[in-house]
Chains A and B, each alone.
Chain A
Amino acid sequence: MHDRPMSRKEAGLWILFGVLWLGAIGAGGARLWTYKTTPGAPAPLQRGWPAASRIPRDRARPALPTLIMMAHPNCPCTRASVGELANLMQRLRGRVAARVVFVVPRGAARSWTESDTWRAVQSMPGVTSWIDEGGLEAARFGARTSGQVLLFAANGRLLFSGGITPIRGHLGDSAGQERIVSLVTTGRADAATSRVFGCALGPV
């Protein structure tokens, strides 16, 4: 059962297949990597909580900073953002109030809105959800990408704007999450923004 000998022609064919295989893997891998690392459009930096917003601040705990996450209920990438929000809330236990704003088209069916991401948020301690029909709140906050996080100080000043996943739709520690933790716990961070990854929120 020894390895059978190979003709030159057969060896050449295997080398050709090998080169094609490596090329296909390289091209496919590069395409996947480009997709995963291309950030979505960031929210333009604004000074503070939009005056026209109807999203209530946490009146019971007015001294807490408020974290807003804009989410597309069906975007699979946002599952990772919501997963990382759960981690973040665990790390910041009781030191921040969080709202996840689900951006949905007007008259969207309940099944469209109440996705597994929506259900995950309902069971998350310290986090409340808000349905934004027609994307009015998303427009007020300038959010264009699902997973966009905005952190506001108790006085309404914007502290941070960005995403909390390392790449698109991927769980894991990220610069955005570290910056939010640092801002909430020490009041300082090396930067006030990070790249945001997710589906486009609009047009709805």
Chain B
Amino acid sequence: MTPMDLGEDLAVREAKVTARAGELFAEQRQRVFVRVDRMFLGLMGGQWIFGILVAFFFSPYAWEGKESTVHPHVWTAVLLGGALSLFPMLLAWKRPGWIVTRHVIAVSQMLWSALLIHLSGGRIETHFHVFGSLAFLAFYLEWRVLVTATAVVVADHLARGLFWPESVYGITNPESWRFLEHAFWVVFEDVFLAIACVNGVRDMRRSARRQAELEGLRESDELKTFALEMALAEARA
């Protein structure tokens, strides 16, 4: 084998390893997408039940003097909560790993935050759901999903700030810093989660590369062993 043959051999092997690493990376990434979609399938169902329980617990009846009727929050939890959960659940069940599935889940998850905040009467503790949800969405290791989720939060704040500023800022003439304060904490979490996502993907790529190299070496060892056995067999003959 000449040095030129050896160079060509190495280049071919490198191309093979790169192609195999790409395949392994894509498979691993898809597995993560599917696994997280399945996790959200359960979470969406759980949130629906939880929303109904919150409505029953906090506001079972609406009153008019001594007359009571089922509170609109109960119907909202059952119907709007159902609408919020069922479509992403269907997608996660039938199309796990599809790009649309995770972005629909991101939209739905942030809308669930808004609904739970309303059902609990604006309790400050319920606002933690927004931050917990962003963390759960980061399990996808896909920063674009965080962008979709954040866009829902921003759209909600902008729309309410435009039509009913009091519900976002508490006062009718909000100073702009109040909006920036809200945005800051979401972006603060987003930045670190996005960094974690990018690092996670990089690690996944490295691991795929290592596995492809190991497979290449194993293949090459097997070829060598085979060639040696052939040579020994010929010598014996």
B63 and A25 contacting across the interface, CB-CB below 8 Å:
no
The answer for the CA separation of A20 and B167 in the assembled complex, in Å, is 28
Establish whether residues A21 and B87, one from each chain, have CB atoms under 8 Å apart when the complex forms: yes
Q: Which of A14, A28, A79, A175 contacts B83 (CB 8 A)?
A: A28
A61: shortest Cβ distance to chain B, in Å?
A: 29
Contact with B along A76-96 (1 / 0, CB 8 A): 110110010000000000000
- In the bound complex, do residue A1 and residue B31 qualify as a contact, i.e. CB atoms below 8 Å apart? yes
Question: Could you say which of B61, B65, B87, B170 contacts A17, with CB atoms under 8 Å apart?
Answer: B87
B237 at the interface (CB under 8 A from A): no
Q: Is B64 close to A, CB under 8 A?
A: yes
Docked complex Cα distance between A174 and B62 (Å): 23
In the bound complex, how far is the Cα of B87 from the Cα of A80, in angstroms?
33
Q: Which of B96-104, B184-192, B206-214 contacts A (4 or more CB under 8 A)?
A: B96-104
On chain A, the number of residues with a Cβ less than 8 Å from chain B's Cβ atoms is 44
A166 interfacial by beta-carbon distance below 8 Å: yes
Is A114 an interface position by the 8 A CB rule?
no
Report A-chain residues with C-beta under 8 Å of the C-beta of B170: 166, 172-174, 178
Question: Do B63 and A72 touch (CB < 8 A)?
Answer: yes
Complex alpha-carbon distance, A72 and B98, angstroms: 50
Task: Write the A23-50 contact mask toward B (1 if CB under 8 angstroms, else 0).
Answer: 0110011011001110000000000000
CA distance A167 to B165 in the complex (A): 11
Give Cα A145–Cα B97 distance, bound, in whole angstroms: 51
B27 x A32 contact (CB < 8 A) = no
A36: B residues at CB distance < 8 A: 118, 167
* Interface presence of A171 (CB below 8 A): yes
Q: Which residues of B contact A32 (CB under 8 A)?
A: 72, 76, 80, 115, 118
CB within 8 A of B98: which of A1, A3, A35, A199?
A: A3
B117 to chain A, nearest CB (A): 8
The 6 closest A-B pairs by CB, nearest first: A173-B170, A28-B80, A76-B59, A24-B83, A170-B122, A171-B122
Question: Which B residues are closer than 8 A to A by beta carbons?
Answer: 26-27, 30-31, 34, 58-66, 68, 71-73, 76, 79-80, 83-84, 87, 90-91, 95, 97-100, 104, 111, 115, 118, 121-124, 164, 166-167, 169-172
